[in-house]
Structure 1
């Protein structure tokens, strides 16, 4: 009690003297079954002070959502049931409770909207929630998943249509295709573990932005920096990489730049926010190496804002890289999936505590899929879509690739290899 009174007194004095800056208010809205499940898991291991709000037409599903603030929408339309994969019903349900949604997000500086696209409530309601959030003046970021290919053409069509509407309503949107989960899990992984992996990507993305805003840094970043990169940005990525051992900064930035679960890479981004976190052993050359790699991957004229942090929550010898990248040309359509500054054999590190034992190197270092695995999966899927002539041309190029012929030098990022030469 005594400590809390002292803190309150210090804040009161600071306000009076004019140098107290309140933290940004952050709210996370999960709409539909997928969005609700995602924020239920997020809320169990997140930063204090962030408010979670679940919105759904399905009363039973909403009851099982593990967050305090819940909004039951479309009472007169669905009578407690789902929308039956009808996005128009989802839109109408959200419109029916528009004022209640507006009241729930009132006062927020930053609003995340989590949804699984392809169904009715999430696909139809998310654009309505986004519109309400944007009208409130909050920085609005949608983090959504696209359905598995085995879920059929209809769900994919619904997801694409919803995605187009969402892009018009939010400042930035991050897309996680569910199919990419097969690149980071083994085929016999339990289904609950698989969905936890997808939710883990969403949670890490959101948590990393909030950490940049609320954590005091050696070189500080704040909400104004986040807003300058994210506002009216369109397509965006949030990359998080954690690594240990030799070249840990290079490995961590490689993971942040090239997460196999995100739809695009940071290649060619015109705005980048870079956060580098470590223990007291964080070295200046590691900060420099990470910043140089990001600069090489981004557009030559990119605006890069970076901060450095001491993070007590990291384990011994760990380094964490967080980046937010926006400003992709060509109407927000990426030209490449992966950064050319990392070779096809570069391992991608995700959450070191997730799905332990899925794959380990002899050193005991956990790895969770590689760019080569992702590209291989995408190439196989593309065989059903590409003309035979194009595939033969692609195979010929692959045979000439030096990545399969060279040794350890190809485990080093391009810009470092050039220096060695």
Structure 2
């Protein structure tokens, strides 16, 4: 309700954007209720709209997980690509003594990494550049998507980085079967062509044999001898790959979704629909 009451302000914020990220923790009122409304608005402007969301920890209860599942399915109808990260899998990555509050902070930081990983592909210059057109060709109308960052060091650093990316425990699905893959290899000035080819082999063998693969490379001397690989994969069952859309004409723009049904909103108790602070701030501007 809060998002619906702030449509004019939200429209003004979104207007003119080429790409809009919708990020939320699903299961509560703010993420579950407002995100589909904002996503629908963004897509109607023609912006590439990407959802990056988290699902609740198991200890948050079955009801909240159920609401999150319904909300993720709802949001998927209104974004070009949706990356869903289950918080429960963070338990396998953090120290068992990690405080409760720190676990939620880490979950928030995973969202940040997801958005920054994609935006860095567009913004940061490279030896072989990836740009917005590349990202759009992979993520437009993609449906389910995954984004992962892998890091490697030592003699097999690029292979390890590629494997760490495609086998990340945070991924809700496997890269296997992806028909659209975009990745960037980042290393120091000693990064070799052979190493890049080795990483490409790992990724190509994991994806669909007919997949469209776009890659880039960049230099970051602050990494020292380490290598990082940022990977986006799309075109899974239920989404449309660039190949299935009939090519990769990067000039194609989305037509407004006229007459489309309004986003469904999950049924939540009244207290979970309390107006988010950000929307109160926007209304008072």
TM-score bin (small chain): 0.7 to 0.9
In the TM superposition, residue 196 of structure 1 has moved relative to its aligned partner by: 2.9
Which residue number corresponds to residue 323 of structure 1?
A: 231
Equivalent of residue 193 in structure 2, options 275, 284, 292: 284
Equivalent of residue 189 in structure 1, options 62, 82, 98: 98
CA distance in 2, matches of 1:213, 1:231: 15
CA distance in 2, matches of 1:103, 1:153: 37
In the TM superposition, residue 232 of structure 1 has moved relative to its aligned partner by: 0.5
Q: Which has the larger radius of gyration?
A: 1
* Unmatched tracts of structure 1, length 5 or more: 1-91, 333-421
CA distance in 2, matches of 1:193, 1:286: 37
Which residue number corresponds to residue 125 of structure 1?
A: 34
Equivalent of residue 160 in structure 1, options 42, 45, 69: 69
- Give the 5 Å matches for 1:278-357: 278-312=187-221, 314-329=222-237, 331=238
Which residue number corresponds to residue 167 of structure 2?
A: 258
CA distance in 2, matches of 1:123, 1:245: 43
* 1:121-154: CA deviation from partner (whole Å, max 9, x where unpaired): 2101110010111111110001111111222221
| SS of equivalent residue, structure 1 residue 179 | helix
* 1:351-375: CA deviation from partner (whole Å, max 9, x where unpaired): xxxxxxxxxxxxxxxxxxxxxxxxx
In the TM superposition, residue 265 of structure 1 has moved relative to its aligned partner by: 2.3
8 A contact 1:134–1:170 mirrored in 2: yes
1:216 aligns with 2:125: yes
* 1:74-133: CA deviation from partner (whole Å, max 9, x where unpaired): xxxxxxxxxxxxxxxxxx221111111111122111111111111112101110010111
Which residue number corresponds to residue 108 of structure 1?
A: 17
Which residue number corresponds to residue 176 of structure 1?
A: 85
* 1:285-330: CA deviation from partner (whole Å, max 9, x where unpaired): 1100011110000001000001111123x3210111011100112x
CA distance in 2, matches of 1:186, 1:211: 28
Which residue number corresponds to residue 147 of structure 2?
A: 238
CA distance in 2, matches of 1:121, 1:193: 21
1:268 aligns with 2:177: yes
In the TM superposition, residue 167 of structure 1 has moved relative to its aligned partner by: 0.6
In the TM superposition, residue 244 of structure 1 has moved relative to its aligned partner by: 1.5
In the TM superposition, residue 208 of structure 1 has moved relative to its aligned partner by: 1.6
In the TM superposition, residue 191 of structure 1 has moved relative to its aligned partner by: 2.1
CA distance in 2, matches of 1:215, 1:145: 26
Bigger relative CO (Cα 8 Å, ≥ 6 apart): 2
CA distance in 2, matches of 1:186, 1:121: 29
* 1:12-46: CA deviation from partner (whole Å, max 9, x where unpaired): xxxxxxxxxxxxxxxxxxxxxxxxxxxxxxxxxxx
8 A contact 1:259–1:265 mirrored in 2: no
CA distance in 1, matches of 2:213, 2:147: 14
CA distance in 2, matches of 1:197, 1:255: 19
CA distance in 1, matches of 2:95, 2:220: 31
| SS of equivalent residue, structure 1 residue 273 | strand
1:96 aligns with 2:11: no
Which residue number corresponds to residue 44 of structure 2?
A: 135
Which residue number corresponds to residue 109 of structure 2?
A: 200
CA distance in 1, matches of 2:16, 2:151: 33
TM, length-normalised to structure 1: 0.55
| SS of equivalent residue, structure 2 residue 210 | coil
TM, length-normalised to structure 2: 0.81
8 A contact 1:237–1:325 mirrored in 2: yes
